[in-house]
Structure 1
Amino acid sequence: MSNSRIIQSLLQSSRRPHLGLAASRFSTTRLSPLPLPTALNPSFSSSSSSSRFAVVSSLRLEPISSFSSSFSHRLLSSTSSTHNKHENHQEEEDPLFYEITEDDGETTDGWEEEDEDVQPKIGDGGDGGGVVLQGVPWGESALSIACDVLKLFSDDTKIFAFKATPRGYIYVRLDKLSNEYGCPSMEELESYSQEYKKRLDEAGERREIPDDLALEVSSPGAERILKVPDDLDRFKDMAMRVCYVEDGESNCTEKSGVFILDSIETELENCIWKLADVKENRDPNSKGRPFCRKRRDWRLKLSFDKHRMIMLHLEC
């Protein structure tokens, strides 16, 4: 069998990942897991396919591409069915393959991605934060375990979002309050993922929850929706994409701009914004010159209820 056929068959060998790591959509690459069978010659992975694959220890995640273009990361894993543990023991001891694919290509084999076509909103369990259990009977137990694991970490690490799905997937997004973007380190995400997976396995053995749940642990990333006014002061020095309307009518045309928070009038429930010094706001003919006084002094006052959506802005 040719090398390409071996790789293709391995990619289709399992429904859910055992453990993996992937960059966010802001990265140019995406990493997905692939178990390394004992029958596969190690020399093949280290030489013939060195341009596409890297072998790493199953106890330590080492991405083979830089994440300098993104501050959002995620870890993928799945709990083990108790009656399959003996069958999977050898597979779990083997190293893992991480395949590099283009960002617009297929994601982790067998992984259920969140529906990106749905407009995010506050409290949706994803980019909008909050807890969404979707009525699954094991949701409360899984959430309780997630909160218990969090007690092992520093007080500035919080659960930004938690979502359980009827297909047996758990999405957890951790927020690092002391980080500029709210992004925990890869080591922190890995540590949380491993401890959470361990406790899910134990609860599965006690039959308190299903024993074959899939888990994704990630950071919120720039796509997180900021609450008005609660989150604004935390990111006040950063450029934000602000979607808004200029009057209270529901049929008013929504506008969008990249601003920096100037101030918050708490009693009047107003936000005052100024133009962010980003490419989108610069005159293409200015040739790198700073804003003129008129643009520096420009301000936009919006009441809290006129903000439709706010998220961090990353300039390409």
Structure 2
Amino acid sequence: RRRASWRVQRALAQATRARGRRRRSVWRSGKRMKTKGPMLRYFGSATPPGIGDGGNGGGVALRDVKWGARALAAAEEVLGEHFGDDIAMFAFKVSPKGYVYVRLDKLTNRYGCPGIEEIENFNRLYKQKLDEIIERGEIPLDLALEISSPGAERLLKVPGDLDRFKDMAMRVQYHAEGDGLISDQMDGIFMLESVDIQAEHCVWKLADVNENRAGKGRPLNRKQKDWRLQTSFDAVMKATLYLD
């Protein structure tokens, strides 16, 4: 029986429940190695994230890899057979060099982060499934696998993700609008106040975080508390969760 020659047996990146930050560690040939920086860089990707890129922007990116659809189907089978409705696939990506990236989203967690046990369990079951497929010659023998959570770096879809994370501070990059004109890109740390799906706009208020305060330990002043920003959905260029 042939089994996969896993260049990387496991690569787990889990955001801690309290802060939403990902832990990074890589296993190669049974030896644990610490690594710095985003794990996708370790696997050779330095492309800035975008919605639907198969990474922190979520979605599926098969990149015309012939065996990609089969590897995706196997991941979906593992989720459907062994996990509940609260675990979903946030992102899936493969590369021609044999890398497989899966990011799992826990819908009932504040930050969308599965527990380390859930990530390890999926990793084990998915490897077993891939071994069976490799045995039948449907995908390459030599693969590298990364299973992780989206982390706080996940790109939020506007307006799709706004309601889910409405109680959390977000870093928003946007184009200011007025008198039919669009300004240069601006950014701020906001809380969502309201969303109007029909009018396709949202209203933001300043988040009560250190970066917005006049001084350390001081709350927002009255003017800051009353300040509001209205943006159209199209004016929001990028939104991510913010960790103070």
Tell me the TM-score normalized by structure 2: 0.87
Structure 2 counterpart SS, 1:123: coil
The match for 2:204 is 273
Q: Do 1:275 and 1:295's aligned partners in 2 also have CA atoms closer than 8 Å?
A: yes
Q: 1:251 to 1:166 in 2, by over 3 A?
A: farther
* Equivalence map 1:223-238=2 (5 Å): 223-238=153-168
2: CA distance, partners of 1:155 / 1:216: 22
Q: Structure 1 residue 312 and structure 2 residue 207: aligned?
A: no
Structure 2 counterpart SS, 1:247: strand
- The equivalent position to 2:150 in structure 1, one of 196, 211, 220, is 220
The match for 2:22 is 72
What are structure 1's unaligned runs of at least 5 residues? 1-13, 25-65, 79-90
The residue type paired with residue 301 of structure 1 is Q
* Structure 1 position 75, deviation (Å): 7.3
Identity %: 50
The match for 2:191 is 260
Larger-gyration structure (1/2): 1
The residue type paired with residue 295 of structure 1 is Q
Q: Do 1:71 and 1:183's aligned partners in 2 also have CA atoms closer than 8 Å?
A: no
The match for 1:154 is 84
Q: Structure 1 residue 210 and structure 2 residue 210: aligned?
A: no
2: CA distance, partners of 1:257 / 1:275: 8
- The equivalent position to 2:131 in structure 1, one of 201, 215, 232, is 201
- The equivalent position to 1:169 in structure 2, one of 99, 112, 134, is 99
* Structure 1 position 72, deviation (Å): 2.5
Q: 1:282 to 1:271 in 2, by over 3 A?
A: same
- The equivalent position to 1:141 in structure 2, one of 70, 77, 88, is 70
Q: 1:268 to 1:107 in 2, by over 3 A?
A: closer
2: CA distance, partners of 1:70 / 1:113: 24
Tell me the TM-score normalized by structure 1: 0.68
What are structure 2's unaligned runs of at least 5 residues? none
2: CA distance, partners of 1:166 / 1:133: 9
Q: Do 1:145 and 1:199's aligned partners in 2 also have CA atoms closer than 8 Å?
A: yes
The match for 1:18 is 9
Q: Do 2:175 and 2:183's aligned partners in 1 also have CA atoms closer than 8 Å?
A: yes
Residues 120-155 of structure 1, C-alpha deviations (whole Å, 9 max, x = no match): 211111111110000011011000001000111010
Q: Do 1:77 and 1:214's aligned partners in 2 also have CA atoms closer than 8 Å?
A: no
RMSD of the alignment, in Å? 2.9
The match for 1:246 is 176
The match for 2:56 is 127
Residues 174-226 of structure 1, C-alpha deviations (whole Å, 9 max, x = no match): 00000000000000000001100111011001101112111101000111110
The match for 1:86 is none
Structure 2 counterpart SS, 1:229: coil
2: CA distance, partners of 1:304 / 1:122: 14
The residue type paired with residue 243 of structure 2 is L
The residue type paired with residue 233 of structure 1 is D
* Structure 1 position 251, deviation (Å): 7.5
Q: Kindly tell me the number of residue pairs found equivalent between the two proteins.
A: 238
Q: Structure 1 residue 114 and structure 2 residue 45: aligned?
A: yes
Q: 1:188 to 1:75 in 2, by over 3 A?
A: farther
1: CA distance, partners of 2:57 / 2:209: 25
- Between Structure 1 and Structure 2, the one with more strand by share is 2
Higher mean alpha-carbon deviation, 287-296 vs 201-210, is at: 287-296
2: CA distance, partners of 1:128 / 1:175: 12
